[in-house]
Amino acid sequence: MSLPLDLIADLRLSDLAAEPLWPSALVAGAAHYADADSRIMRSPIDAAILGHFVPATAGLANHAVEAAHGAFLKWRCVPAPLRGELVRCIGNKIRLRKTALARLITLEAGKICSEAEGEVQECIDICDFAVGLARQLHGLTIASERPKHRMMEQWQPLGAVGIITSFNFPMAVWAWNAMLGLVCGDAVVWKPSEKAPLCAIALQRLVEEAIDEMNDTIPAHVCQLILGEHEAGERIASHPLLPLISATGSSRMGRVVAQTVAARLGRVLLELGGNNALIVTPSANLDMALQAIVFAAVGTAGQRCTTLRRLIVHESLIDQFAERLVQGFDNVPIGHPSDDGVLLGPLIDADAYWAMQQALQAAEQQGGQRLTGGQRVEQGVPLNGFYVRPALIRVAGNLDIVREETFAPILYLMPYAELDDAIELNNAVSQGLSSAIFTDSVREAEAFLGPAGSDCGIANVNIGTSGAEIGAAFGGEKDTGGGREAGSDAWKNYMRRTTNTINYGSELTLAQGVRFTL
């Protein structure tokens, strides 16, 4: 497979397969710092070579971070509305290239076209949100106990922010962090997944275009891109000039990042694993629930952090609902993600396939019953890609393997008798990202959303676990890391708070009535 010519023209990604690729945002002469060996980029669709990239060395990574820090020292003094103008320009460029960017996501991450277009739309939406936010970075005025004193809070730019993203949302997660960081006055250093560097390069080049068009109002190097594998992420996490590291990935990766950053007393914003559950009650609209469940379990080939992995169905419904689910899973169209009507594309690589097979084997050894799916599909799909049928496994409860997150389309089906039992099953895993309930009972819905209900960062009623909007804060609890990105007040992660007290009187008055007179 080769890159489509119109995509190359739109994104200026020429000769990718012919030579190692450097992101042009890095400093001039970057090849001086480069290792001689390059990494192959392959498409999950058919394992075709898309090109090569050279991982950044320690010297290059350090140079990029230092350049970003230097840019921050200037960028922090630029008025926030003008910072918003850069984000507006970036958003417009993404909007104009939406189709080409979506095709690149499909090519490099294997997403079906509608999901890829949805991810690019998410980038556009967060740009629009951030532009408005540039005029709303407000603090508080606080009553003082002292006469002729005023207290207030301000939010100030934090620094250069390190962003580590995963392959499954190769553009949107960067946008959540980078666009908010930019309007907050931060510089950005991005280390994308080594499985999706082309998406990162494309976005970086659009950012460069936007910076160039704004002439001298934007400091050079305010957005940096570092390509590499886990070593590059470790260099970012340990760098003292990056006060915040936003990392998206597995809980295992997040623990390593958190410990590294904590050792230098930096901040982390973690978006890690999800082991998401959905409860179906006797009053639920089963047709609507079925549609939501299949998308949440199968979308992105089960490779979302919000993918539905555990389905908790009332014991009076479970047998009939299992039959409908089997039929739904078996009828999901599988194939090339660019083909019309296909809903399930490939897993990202062979490692993901074998992890799925090991999980299925463990589930059966632990007493689970496979109702359907799990096999590799080799007919009617591109050769060399890892296409699978979504698997449905009936279990008695949270088996050991069920408590683990397997990044693949496996759905574990389990019964419950009372709502309290279902909520306990929902909460009885270490991850706490997304959850949902289907019910027409106000009492059940409110119990699920209440303080004794779901312990996840996202709790939905009558919708699935995936497909969050950018207007609200996104993130979860427990092993999910506690981070919040995107909307609401997530912008505060990217700033530092200062408390100010102003004495406009002619006497010095101490707080708490303390007297200290010389």
Give the mean pLDDT of the chain.
92
Residues annotated as catalytic (active site), given as ranges: 271, 305
**Residue-level pLDDT at 437:** 98
What count of Cα atoms within 13 Å lies in the side-chain half-sphere of residue 436? 26
User: Would you state the pLDDT for residue 39?
Assistant: 86
Q: Can you tell me the mean pLDDT for 242-265?
A: 97
Average pLDDT over residues 362-369: 98
pLDDT tens digits for range 273-302: 999 999 999 999 999 999 999 999 999 999
Q: Do β-strands 223-225 and 267-271 pair in parallel, antiparallel, or remain unpaired? A: unpaired
Between CA 241 and CA 8 the distance in angstroms is 35
Mean pLDDT of 333-337: 98
Q: How many CB atoms lie within 10 A of CB 230?
A: 13
Q: Specify whether the CB–CB gap between 30 and 60 falls below 8 A.
A: yes
Distance CA 455, CA 440 (A): 21
Half-sphere exposure of 235 (CA within 13 A, CB side): 22
**pLDDT per residue as tens digits for the range 443-478:** 999 999 999 999 999 999 999 999 989 999 999 999
Q: Are 469 and 131 in contact (CB under 8 A)?
A: no
pLDDT digits (tens, 9 = 90+) for 134-168: 999 999 999 999 999 999 999 999 999 999 999 99
Average pLDDT estimate for 222-229? 96
What pLDDT is attached to residue 170?
Answer: 98
Q: pLDDT band at 32, cuts 50/70/90?
A: very low
pLDDT tens by residue, 385-406: 999 999 999 999 999 999 999 9
pLDDT at residue 21 above 70? Answer: no
pLDDT in tens, 51-94: 888 899 999 999 999 999 999 999 999 999 999 999 999 999 99
Examine the pLDDT at 6 and tell me if it is beyond 50. no
Letter for the amino acid at 36?
A
